[in-house]
Chain A
Amino acid sequence: MPQASSISVLVVDDQLTMRALIRNALQQIGFKDIREAPDGEEALKNLLAKPANLVISDFNMPKMDGLALLRAVRSHPPIRQTAFVMLTGRADRELVQRAVQFGVNNYCVKPFTVQGLRDKIEQVFGQLT
C-alpha cells in the first residue's frame, strides 16, 4: 500500500484554474509532492529533468497535447513507467481508446470528484494510505 505522500505527481493542464483544482484535490487525498506544467512540452522537460511517479494530464493543450505527451513518456526509457492518468471529457471516447493503445494507465472523465480521482489513482497504485 503506497503512501500518497510518497508519490510525486505532475499535473499537466493548460488552464491555471484546473491545475489549481486538481492540486487541491490531490492535497485532500494526501499527496504532497505536486508539480505542474501548462502543456505537454513543458511536462516532458520537467519529467526528464526530474521524473515523477504519476502524471495527471489534460488532453487538449497547446504545443503538445496529452496524447503526444503520453507517447513521449512511453518512449523515453527512464520515465517509461510513469503512471499516466488522462483527464477527458465525455465526448472524447475515441481519444481514450487511442490513449489506451499508447499505454495510458487510467482515465478520468470530467467532471470528477475528489473521491473519484482517488479511486482512479488507487486503481493504478493500489489503495493509498
Chain B
Amino acid sequence: MSFMKLTASALAVAAVSATAATARDNLQIAGSSTVLPYASIVAEAFGENFEFPTPVVESGGSSAGLKRFCEGVGENTIDIANASRAIKSSEVETCAANGVTDIIQVRIGYDGIVFASQLDGPAFTAFEPADLYNALAPKVVVDGELVDNPYTMWSEFNADLPEAEILAFIPGTKHGTREVFEEKVLAAGCEATGALEAMVASGMSEDDAEDACISVRTDGKSVDIDGDYTETLASIESNPNAIGVFGLAFYENNTDKLKVATMSGVEPKTETIASGEYPVSRPLYFYIKKAHIGVIPGLKEYASFFVSDEIAGPSGPLSNYGLVADPELADTQAMIETEETM
C-alpha cells in the first residue's frame, strides 16, 4: 500500500529529527525587537566574514528572550538573549534555578527615544518633560492644587506649544521602551511640575506617589501601542495632531514622514545622546551563556565581533544605523576576552 509507505516515511522523518536535534552549528539569538536590527546587521556581517553560518536572530521582546535564555543550558536553548534593559534580579534567580549560572553581560551601546509627529502637522518642535507630564498624567497641578487632568489642548498649559488636541501614541507596557519613557519623562515631569510634592503633601507615601507619577490618563488622549514602531507610524500618519514615541534609528529611517521634537532644548542625535545631553536614552545589552562558549561554534567570536571597533565603534555600521556608541567599548571588549561573568 502506498499509504503505508507514506506513513512509514513520515515516521522516519520524525525519528531522524529526534536524533539530529542534538547537532547544532549555528548560533541562536532571541529577544528585544529594539536590538534585533543591530543584531541582524552584525549577524549578517559575521556570516560574511567568518566560516560559521549566519546566526539566527529572533524577535519577541526582552522579557520573552530572557525567559527563553533562562530555560536551561544545552543545545536546545538559545545562546544569547538581546535585551533593551538590564536583566532583573528575579530573572537571574530563575536562570540560576535552571542551571544557567554563568552569564556574561555585554552592553553594546545606547538607544535614544524620540518624540516625533507628522512632518506637516502642528509645530511640535520642543518639549520639556513637564509638558508631557501635563499632557498625559491623570492628575496634574493647577494653581497649586492637585486636580484631575483638565487639559485637552497643548497650548492650555504651555503657550509655546501649538493649539492642538492632545493625542499621544506611547509604547505599551510590554515594551522596554515604556519603562524608559516612564522613568525619564513622566517621573521627571512629575517632579518638575510639583505634582510629586503635592501628592506627598496630600498624605501619599513616597513609593505610592512615585507609582502615581508614572501612570497615564485613561480618557483616550494617551494610546498604548503594543505593536512595533511601524504601527505607531501608521497611527501618526492618520492623526495629524498626534505625537508618537520612536527609537532614534526608526526615526532616522523615516525622516521623510516625521519631524522630531527637542527634549529640554536638546535635539536627539547620536552625538547628543552619547554625551548624555539628550535625557531620554537607555543602554542596550545582550547576555551570553558562558556554558555554551566552546560548545556552540562561533559564540565567542560573534560576541567579540559585535563589540569590535569596526562594528560597534562610532563610525561602524551600527552607529550608521542609529545606535549610540558606548564610550566604554574597550572595557566591554576586554570583558569578553576574559569571559567575565556577572
Q: Do A and B interact with each other, yes or no?
A: no
